[in-house]
Chain A
Amino acid sequence: MSWQILVNGLVNAALIAPPAIALSLIFGVMRFPNFAIGGYITVGAFFAYAVNVDLGAPIWLAAIAAMIGTAVVVWLSDALVFRPMQGRGPVTLLVLSIALTLILEHIVRLFYGADVRGFDLPLQRPYRFGDIRITQEQIEIIVLAIAIAAITHLILQYTRTGKAVRATADNPMLAQVRGIDTGWIILLTWLYCGMLFGLTGVLAGLDLVIEPLVGWYLTIPIFAAAILGGIGSPYGAMLGALLVGLAEELTVLILPSTYKIGVGFVIIAILLLVRPQGLLGRPEIKK
Chain B
Amino acid sequence: MQNAISRRTALKGGAAAVAMTLAAPTILRADEAISIGSLTPNTGGGGPFGPNITASHKRVADLVNSQGGVLGREIRLFQENSETNPETAVRAADKLINVNKVLGILGTWSSSVTLGIMPRCQEAGVIQMCTSSSADIPARDQKGLVFNFQALSPVWGRAIGDLSLRRGFETFNVMALNNDFTGSMIDGFVGVVGRDKILVEPFYYNGGQASYRSEVTQLIGEDPEAVFIPAYVTDFTSVYKEIFRQGYEGQVISVSIATTPAFKDVIGDAANGIIHGVPVPPITSPAYKEYLTEAGLEDTGSVQHPFGTAGRDQMSVLLLAMEKAGTTDTAEIAKAIWDVTTGEGKKTVYNVTDGLAAIRAGEEINYSGASSSIEFDEEGMVLGRDFQLAEIRDGKDVVIERLEF
In the assembled complex, A58 has its CB within 8 A of some CB on chain B: no
Q: Chain B residues near A249 (CB, 8 Å)? A: 211, 213-214
Q: Considering the chains assembled together, what is the distance between the CA atoms of A255 and B282 in angstroms? A: 43
User: Which of A1, A133, A212 sits near B247, CB closer than 8 Å?
Assistant: A133
Q: Chain A residues near B27 (CB, 8 Å)? A: none
Inter-subunit contact B263/A248 (CB<8 Å): no
Inter-subunit contact A207/B241 (CB<8 Å): yes
Per the 8 Å Cβ criterion, residues 111-128 of A in contact with B are 113-118, 122-126, 128
Inter-subunit contact B263/A11 (CB<8 Å): no
Inter-subunit contact B48/A116 (CB<8 Å): yes
Interface centre among A106, A114, A122 (most CB of B within 10 A): A114
Inter-subunit contact A125/B213 (CB<8 Å): no
Known: A218-B210, A260-B209. A1 touches B221 (CB 8 A): yes
Q: Chain A residues near B43 (CB, 8 Å)? A: 106, 109, 114
Q: Chain B residues near A250 (CB, 8 Å)? A: 214
Interface centre among A8, A16, A218, A249 (most CB of B within 10 A): A8
Q: Chain B residues near A138 (CB, 8 Å)? A: 245
Q: Considering the chains assembled together, what is the distance between the CA atoms of A12 and B209 in angstroms? A: 11
Inter-subunit contact B246/A126 (CB<8 Å): yes
Known: A109-B43, A117-B266, A257-B215. A217 touches B233 (CB 8 A): no
Q: Chain A residues near B263 (CB, 8 Å)? A: 116
In the assembled complex, B122 has its CB within 8 A of some CB on chain A: no
Interface centre among B50, B214, B233, B267 (most CB of A within 10 A): B214
Inter-subunit contact A118/B267 (CB<8 Å): yes
Inter-subunit contact A252/B209 (CB<8 Å): no
User: Which of A15, A122, A210 sits near B270, CB closer than 8 Å?
Assistant: A122
Q: Chain A residues near B215 (CB, 8 Å)? A: 252, 257
Q: Chain A residues near B203 (CB, 8 Å)? A: 256-258
Q: Chain A residues near B266 (CB, 8 Å)? A: 116-118, 209-210
Inter-subunit contact A124/B210 (CB<8 Å): no
User: Which of B211, B218, B237, B246 sits near A248, CB closer than 8 Å?
Assistant: B211
Q: Smallest CB-CB separation from B208: which chain A residue?
A: A217
B218 to chain A, nearest CB (A): 6
Per the 8 Å Cβ criterion, residues 202-236 of B in contact with A are 203-206, 208-211, 213-215, 217-218, 221, 233-234
Q: Chain A residues near B51 (CB, 8 Å)? A: 113-114
Q: Considering the chains assembled together, what is the distance between the CA atoms of A115 and B260 in angstroms? A: 10
Q: Chain A residues near B171 (CB, 8 Å)? A: none
User: Which of A207, A211, A216 sits near B234, CB closer than 8 Å?
Assistant: A211
Q: Smallest CB-CB separation from A216: which chain B residue?
A: B208
Interface centre among B50, B210, B221 (most CB of A within 10 A): B210
Inter-subunit contact B237/A209 (CB<8 Å): yes
In the assembled complex, B178 has its CB within 8 A of some CB on chain A: yes
Q: Smallest CB-CB separation from B49: which chain A residue?
A: A114
Inter-subunit contact A221/B210 (CB<8 Å): yes
Known: A117-B262, A122-B268, A256-B203. A217 touches B210 (CB 8 A): yes
Inter-subunit contact A8/B214 (CB<8 Å): yes
User: Which of A4, A16, A216, A220 sits near B217, CB closer than 8 Å?
Assistant: A4
Q: Chain B residues near A117 (CB, 8 Å)? A: 262, 265-266
Q: Chain A residues near B47 (CB, 8 Å)? A: 109, 113-114, 211-212
- Per-position 1/0 for A233-256, Cβ under 8 A of B: 000000000000000111110001
Inter-subunit contact B237/A116 (CB<8 Å): yes
Inter-subunit contact A123/B270 (CB<8 Å): yes
B154 to chain A, nearest CB (A): 21
Q: Considering the chains assembled together, what is the distance between the CA atoms of A79 and B238 in angstroms? A: 35
Known: A125-B247, A248-B214, A249-B213. A258 touches B206 (CB 8 A): yes
In the assembled complex, B269 has its CB within 8 A of some CB on chain A: yes
Q: Smallest CB-CB separation from B204: which chain A residue?
A: A258
In the assembled complex, A5 has its CB within 8 A of some CB on chain B: yes
Inter-subunit contact B262/A116 (CB<8 Å): yes
User: Which of A8, A128, A256 sits near B211, CB closer than 8 Å?
Assistant: A8
Q: Smallest CB-CB separation from A209: which chain B residue?
A: B237
Known: A1-B217, A12-B211, A218-B210. A135 touches B245 (CB 8 A): yes
Per the 8 Å Cβ criterion, residues 244-270 of B in contact with A are 244-247, 260, 262-263, 265-270
Q: Chain B residues near A143 (CB, 8 Å)? A: none
Q: Chain A residues near B233 (CB, 8 Å)? A: 116
Per the 8 Å Cβ criterion, residues 84-142 of A in contact with B are 106, 109, 113-118, 122-126, 128, 133, 135, 137-138
* Shortest beta-carbon contacts, A-B, top 9: A114-B47, A118-B266, A8-B213, A123-B270, A249-B214, A115-B262, A252-B214, A208-B238, A209-B237
Known: A15-B211, A258-B178. 11 other contacts (CB 8 A): A1-B217, A12-B210, A106-B43, A114-B43, A123-B267, A125-B244, A135-B245, A208-B241, A211-B234, A221-B210, A260-B209
List residues of chain A with CB under 8 Å of any chain B CB.
Answer: 1, 4-5, 8, 11-12, 15-16, 106, 109, 113-118, 122-126, 128, 133, 135, 137-138, 207-213, 216-218, 220-221, 248-252, 256-258, 260-261
A-B contact pairs, 29 of them (CB 8 A): A1-B218, A1-B221, A5-B214, A8-B217, A11-B213, A15-B210, A114-B43, A114-B51, A116-B262, A117-B266, A118-B266, A118-B268, A123-B267, A123-B268, A123-B270, A124-B245, A126-B246, A207-B211, A209-B238, A209-B241, A209-B266, A211-B234, A213-B234, A249-B214, A252-B214, A252-B215, A258-B203, A260-B206, A260-B209
